[in-house]
Structures are given as C-alpha cells and as structure tokens.
Structure 1
Amino acid sequence: MIEVDVLQQLAKHDKGISCCVQIHNWFDYRNHICIVFEKLGPSLFDFLKRNKYCPFPVDLVREFGRQLLESVAYMHDLRLIHTDLKPENILLVSSEYVKLPHTKRFSSDETHYRCLPKSSAIKLIDFGSTVFDNQIHSSIVSTRHYRAPEIILGLGWSYPCDLWSIGCILVELCAGNALFQTHENLEHLAMMERVLGPLPQQMTRRANNGAEKYFRRGARLNWPLGAVSRESIRAVKKLDCLKDLISRHLGSSKASSSLTDLLYGLLKYEPSERLTARQALDHPFFKIPT
C-alpha cells in the first residue's frame, strides 16, 4: 500500500514527462495487493544480458541518462527518494529491437550481431522502497552494486544517494558490466578508492561503530590487510580509474571526456558536493548532438 500511495502521488502530478511507470489500478485479491501497470518492454539489465553484456552506444546512454535524471528530478521535486535505482528497475517502453552486424572472427566467416532497441524511451519502475524525505530512513538501502558510500559508512542518506546510483548505472551501460561487482563492504570501499581515489577523511572519521572497523586509526582504509581473500585483492587491482575505464570503451572522443566529467560529478564521495538531478541535466554531455 505504501507503493500504491507513492505511485498515486507520482501520477497525480505527472504531465506525461516524468518517465515514471503509470499505475492503472490496484486491487486486493485474497489479502494480496495487486497493482496494474501499463505494459512495457524488458529492463535495461535484461537487454544487456540477452545481448551478452555488449554495452550500449554512447548516444543511447545519453538518452537513457537524460530520461533517468528527468524521472529522478521529478521525484525529488515531490520530496521522494527512490533508493533502489539499478538497470533492473529501468524498463524500455517497447520490446522491439534491431539486429546489426557487430564483429567478425578472423578464424571463421561467422558474423556476430548486437541488438539495439528500436526506441530509446524508458520508464522507471519499482517504488516499493521509495520514501518521502521526512519519513524514517532505514540504515541500509539500495542494491549493493549501486549503494552510495555514505550508506556503507552509516552517515545517513538523502536525495544524493539516488545520484550515486545513476553514476554507477551510466558506467554499466557504457561498459556492459556493473562498476562495483562485490558483496562485501571493505572490498566495496577499496573498489571505490581504486576507481575514484581516496575516501575523504572528513567522511571516514565520522563512520559509525559498524563501519569504523574498515579503517586504521579511524582514517585510512584497512586495505589490503583486511581483505578476506587473495581473489578479493585481485578483483580490486583489475579495476581502472574512472577516466581510463570510460576511455577504454569510448576512446578519446568529446563524448568520452564529457561523460567522464559528468560521472565525476555524480560519483562525488561527499553527498553535499554531488550533482543534483537538475544540475546533471544541464551538463554539457546532454548538449552533444546525437
């Protein structure tokens, strides 16, 4: 019923430009709340998976990013925080796609294909974890790979946690795989430092009792000494810094440098320094002609 309430709030103020899924109806069937939605296509994650994790072209990433930021800006204007943004919760409006030749193996004449959606239109779904800013905030939110550092450190969270998730999503759409593929907090923080540089001491010193064990003398990350395995150390070492990661997939184009700059704004450690959704929409990356 909380989700129904959120969906009705979104629909009440929507002028058809929110990019949020539309609720048609809801009903109680034998004490099960059922929600009727508009019919949509596969999620961006399902599309990537079906496409053997082949990344999307940068022009599509730009269109997806623009719509995702518009939906989150709309939510934030209504004082709502999604808290569970990830490719599984972003659906293509249409299931239609085109099949294009991609690469040819030198050892055979076999041509490999990549699939691209016919339409870039998307809708944001799954508002079951959405909260109003003035409601009680649980200590842990967001699916692991898209969880912001302030949540891991127990520093509290608000609107900026959605923007961190968007940064992670945009990298994944460009690279084909999740940026932080981990299931453990210390490794996750070590991956962040590998990609984005050291965590600021003003944040690490304020880490709560549950998170202070990840640091030595309350400031420096206890890595690699605290790693649970050699595999964990290797998983962190194989990551590139953000700039190199993006240029590896997009080359040294104008779009590559512009997207990298946007990502650094979305993936700022300090939540107060992170771009807002409205600020991100004004970034030059979204002004590049498609």
Structure 2
Amino acid sequence: MPIAPSMRQPGDEGVEAASLTASNALLGSGSRPGKRPRPSGGAPQQQQQEQQPPQGGTSMLLRSAQKRLMAAEAAARTNSGVGSSQQLDRTDSCGGSADAGLTTAAAAAVAAVDAAEAGAQQPPEAQQSWQQAQAQQSQRHAAAAGAAAAPAAAASRPQQPPPKRRRISRAGVPAPLPSYELRTFDRPSPPFRDDDENGHYRFEIGENLAPRFKIMRKLGEGTFGQVMECWDRKRRDYVAVKVIRNIQKYRDAAMIELEALHTLAANDPAQAQHCVRLLEWFDYRGHVCMVFERLGASLYDFLRRNAYRPFPLAMAQSFARQLLQSVAFMHELQLVHTDLKPENILVLNNEISKDPPPSAKVGKRLPASSAIRVIDFGSATFNSDYHSTIVSTRHYRAPEVILGLGWSFPCDIWSVGCILVELLSGDALFQTHENLEHLAMMEAVLGPIPPQLAASAVEGVRDLFRRNRLNWPDGAESKKSLKAVQRLKKVKDYLRQHCEDAVRPHLDCIADLIRQMLDYRASERITAAEALRHPFFALQL
C-alpha cells in the first residue's frame, strides 16, 4: 500500500503537494471528499490495551500470522453472527472487517493459537464451505489467467512453455533491513515516545524515522497505520513509508501483505505487470515499516479534480488494459486483490498533459502518461488461504460477497467492470451504503438477480428477498433511496447518458464487455485473460 500522492489540492493549480485522498485510500479508510463521499472502510478504534508484539519476532510472525488471522476471524464469526445483514453492512472496505466484535474473540483465538504452538490442542475452526463451492470456477479462472500473456504462434513451430509462476512462502520473505543499515547515517534518532492509544507511531515533521529516513509530511492515516513521505538518505530520493500500528493483529496482517508483495516482485522482476514495487521493509520500535516507490496521483484524484468528468476513451482503454493485465498476473499467481478501485490505481508521476486530446473539454487536467500501478495489497488473499466474509469497498463489491456465497477470482473482475464504467462516465455506478439498495441498483442496471442465487444467500441476507425475488421497492428505507435506484438505467443507456461523444460510436462493444464483467453468476463471469481478448481492446482510438 504505497502511496504516490498527487500533489494538488482542490483549487490549487500545482501538482507538487501530497494528495491525502490517494494515501487514505491506500490505508483502507476515509471517505472521498467532494461530490460523492463514500462510506468509511476503517475499523472502529480499539479502546482497550492490546498485547504488544515481541521485538525482533519476525520469524515467529512469518510462521503464525495466517493462523492468527484465521482463528481470530473464525472466532469473531462464531461469537457475533456475521450472517445478519447488519453485520454485512458494518464493513464497507476490505481494510475494516468487523472489528467491533473482534477484539475479545480475536484475543481468545490468538491465545488458542499460541497454546497450539506450545503443544496444546487447538480448537477446531469453522469449515470453509467456500472452498468446495468455488473450486470449479477457481480452476477455470486460474487456467485462463495462465494464458493471459502467452502470444499466439504459428502451429507449425514448437511453443516455448511460459515461465512457471511461484508463490513466495512466508518463510521465504526476505528479512527486514538490519539495524546497522538504518544507523549508518550520521543523524540522531528521535526521542522514544509511547505510541498513542490506538498503537499509532508518534512523530513530528522533520525528525527521523530511524536515521536513514527523514519524515517530510504525513500523507494519511487508516485502519492499519500511517503513511509518510520520507527522504531516503541512501537512495537520495523521496519514498512513501507505511508505518503499521504496534498491535499484534496488524503486525500479523502486515506479514501477509509482505508475502503477497514479495511474490509479485519475484515473478515480475521487470515490473511489467503494473503492480507497485516494495523497496524494502524494516521493524522500528515495534512497528512494521514498508518502504515503497513514490508514484503519482490516483485515477480517482483526476476524476475529482475534473469535477467528475470522464477520461477520454483512448486513455480509459489504456487504463483498463493495464489493469486487466495486472489482474490476470495476480490470478495466475492464485492471488485475489479484493480491493480494486480508482483510488488504488496510480499513475507513475504527477506530470500533466500540456496538449490534451481534442475530445477533452476545456479545463480538464489529464496525466501526461497513461502508465499505471496497482497498489494496496493489504487485503490481497491467496486463493488457497482463509477467506474473510466481507471484502471490497462497497461501490465495487460483487453480488456473491453481499449474498454470502463465497468469493474467489471473479470478485476482482466485477470490480474492474465497475471501474471501467466510472472511467467512462465519471461517476461510480453503485453509489450506496447498504445491501438492499445495492442489490436493487444492480437489478436496475443488469436485470433481475437469478432466483438460484437468491435461494442460496446466507441467513439474514435471504430476508431481503420474498420468494426468491428482491423485496424492492417495498423494503426501501426512504424516498431518497427509491429515487437513487430509479435514476439508474441499463448499462448501454447509462453510458449513453453519461459518457463523452467519442464513446457513443462504440457503445455496443463497450456495453458487451461490461455486461460480461458484471455477470451475476461468478462462475460465468469473464476472466481477465478473456477480457483482454475482447474486441474493445482492438479498437484503434
């Protein structure tokens, strides 16, 4: 979750000041400023003292991080009943799963894991029914993703097998920077301070984060920690440092994120798959610190600065192609991102185009280059690992997640479909904060939810249906909610209403791709590899 802030504030014509919007998105919390604020994904603040992690306990964390999180989530689900629609609504971002009921359960679960590691019998965890339910579709998506980058060759000549992708095991994550690497610069360390009541690192602008890194500014704060822009005295360059809260469950989550980041880097040494690059990491005064390359603004930042006017079609096509290439690469590695959204797609730098395309309206500010990086792997999950109940920021959440049917690779494709609509229209497609309204919006755009899916929904969500049909409009909470749903149209009509004139000749092609990405049935949803072969990406724009 690096940050690469855009440096421009609303009303400021410069591009050299940090963007809090991008950095907050990287941290999985905060709402969008301006036209359409989004529900916060941050977890409630922890009010009670939590156990401090052992210093230098990296090897132990690598072995037990996943077990701790699995046990904590299983205990929380058992004790708090996550099947209810109220529980499903408590988290609108993957960065903030239902922490309000997690503290006590997590503490008990972590204690059980510790006892098991000491030789005691660990209590059985809940069976993961999603593994069986998603096995067939996972194989299909993984197989298709494996062919994403394989070029078509003449049948008369032999094919070279593609390089084998590999997951970096937790034990294979490189060690943190040794302390002497941080102390080799003749700069004082800041005075030792206690962390704040929520485990966040206390600091002052201008002091050092270890002698090597000088803190230039704070760029954001969220569920997992803080992001700072720092001057790296060794690299002689600015970097983004994410400082994780000094609380054990967040340290454990950070180790899982490091596994995903190192797996991506090991399989993409040339950084050709558009994923952000982790430079290094270290453990400082109980805080896991991740050092990332500094990038530019997010795609959401550009939409906001341009008053939510859409990107030119050629630029949106380029963004979508790179995003799908990145997703196909992740899926080939059996990794599901789970939190794709415009805030988590950054351009490489903050250069602004001096010659905007003819289709751009007067005053629209566009990036000079359409090259992007996908960021924020804090919630990325390997398909064989434990899957939490709720993932994805609300606006980009797939129906199978809302209905409690289990999720896998297709949930990323749903998010990409929502993102493509937003790039072409300027507005998020599903602007909502609760399940019934969200499902009603889906039906307004995509037609009725298949009865088979409604019948399979988990208890609590099933109450939103009557005889396997959505209880709408009878179940609407307000007239405002009714109007929000009534404003939506079918995909093609929605794009015709909101997109630029240059898009209209290609509406049939674009709408076809989006409909395949937004198929209710996860097993039938187009894969990233298949989407890259869609005629939309053959258009010469």
Task: Please state how far the C-alpha of 1:250 moved relative to its aligned partner.
Answer: 4.3
Taking the aligned partners of 2:448 and 2:504, their CA distance within structure 1 comes to 27
* Cross-structure match for 2:537: 286
Report whether the alignment pairs 1:274 with 2:525.
yes
**Equivalent residue in structure 2 for 1:24, among 279, 284, 289:** 279
* Cross-structure match for 1:57: 312
* Cross-structure match for 1:125: 375
* Cross-structure match for 1:106: none
Task: Please state how far the C-alpha of 1:257 moved relative to its aligned partner.
Answer: 1.7
Task: Please state how far the C-alpha of 1:98 moved relative to its aligned partner.
Answer: 2.5
* Cross-structure match for 2:510: 259
Taking the aligned partners of 2:400 and 2:267, their CA distance within structure 1 comes to 30
Q: Is the 8 A contact 1:25 1:36 kept in 2?
A: yes
Taking the aligned partners of 2:408 and 2:500, their CA distance within structure 1 comes to 32
Deviates more, 1:161-170 or 1:8-17: 8-17
- What SS is found at the alignment partner of 1:123? strand
Q: Is the 8 A contact 2:310 2:500 kept in 1?
A: no
TM norm structure 1: 0.94
Deviates more, 1:236-245 or 1:183-192: 236-245
- What SS is found at the alignment partner of 1:245? helix
Report whether the alignment pairs 1:44 with 2:299.
yes
* Cross-structure match for 2:259: 5
- What SS is found at the alignment partner of 1:264? helix
**Equivalent residue in structure 2 for 1:115, among 350, 365, 379:** 365
Matches within 5 A, 1:104-253: 112-217=362-467, 219-248=468-497, 249-251=499-501, 253=504
Deviation readout 1:36-71 (Å, 9 max, x if unpaired): 111210010111111111110111110000000000
Amino acid at match of 1:169: I
Task: Please state how far the C-alpha of 1:259 moved relative to its aligned partner.
Answer: 1.1
TM norm structure 2: 0.51
Taking the aligned partners of 1:84 and 1:16, their CA distance within structure 2 comes to 20
* Cross-structure match for 2:162: none
**Equivalent residue in structure 2 for 1:77, among 318, 326, 332:** 332
Q: Is the 8 A contact 2:397 2:414 kept in 1?
A: yes
Q: Is the 8 A contact 1:199 1:269 kept in 2?
A: yes
Taking the aligned partners of 1:254 and 1:18, their CA distance within structure 2 comes to 30
* Cross-structure match for 1:96: 351
Task: Please state how far the C-alpha of 1:16 moved relative to its aligned partner.
Answer: 2.5
Taking the aligned partners of 2:353 and 2:506, their CA distance within structure 1 comes to 24
- What SS is found at the alignment partner of 1:41? coil
Amino acid at match of 1:74: F
Amino acid at match of 1:168: C
Task: Please state how far the C-alpha of 1:246 moved relative to its aligned partner.
Answer: 1.4
Taking the aligned partners of 1:22 and 1:118, their CA distance within structure 2 comes to 21
- What SS is found at the alignment partner of 1:162? helix
- What SS is found at the alignment partner of 1:25? strand
Task: Please state how far the C-alpha of 1:247 moved relative to its aligned partner.
Answer: 2.0
Taking the aligned partners of 2:491 and 2:478, their CA distance within structure 1 comes to 24
Amino acid at match of 1:43: S
Deviates more, 1:25-34 or 1:158-167: 25-34
Taking the aligned partners of 1:70 and 1:33, their CA distance within structure 2 comes to 30
- What SS is found at the alignment partner of 2:457? coil
Deviates more, 1:244-253 or 1:165-174: 244-253
Task: Please state how far the C-alpha of 1:5 moved relative to its aligned partner.
Answer: 1.1
Taking the aligned partners of 1:172 and 1:30, their CA distance within structure 2 comes to 42
Task: Please state how far the C-alpha of 1:253 moved relative to its aligned partner.
Answer: 3.7
Task: Please state how far the C-alpha of 1:28 moved relative to its aligned partner.
Answer: 1.1
Q: CA RMSD in A?
A: 1.3
* Cross-structure match for 2:321: 66
Query: Computing the radius of gyration over CA atoms, which structure comes out larger, 1 or 2?
Result: 2
- What SS is found at the alignment partner of 2:353? strand
Q: Is the 8 A contact 2:278 2:292 kept in 1?
A: yes
- What SS is found at the alignment partner of 2:281? strand
Taking the aligned partners of 2:532 and 2:332, their CA distance within structure 1 comes to 14
Amino acid at match of 2:324: L
Q: Is the 8 A contact 2:316 2:423 kept in 1?
A: yes
Greater strand percent: which structure?
1
Amino acid at match of 1:223: W
Q: Is the 8 A contact 1:58 1:255 kept in 2?
A: no
* Cross-structure match for 1:108: none
Taking the aligned partners of 1:11 and 1:137, their CA distance within structure 2 comes to 23
- What SS is found at the alignment partner of 2:264? helix
Residue correspondences, number? 281
Percent of aligned pairs with the same amino acid? 56
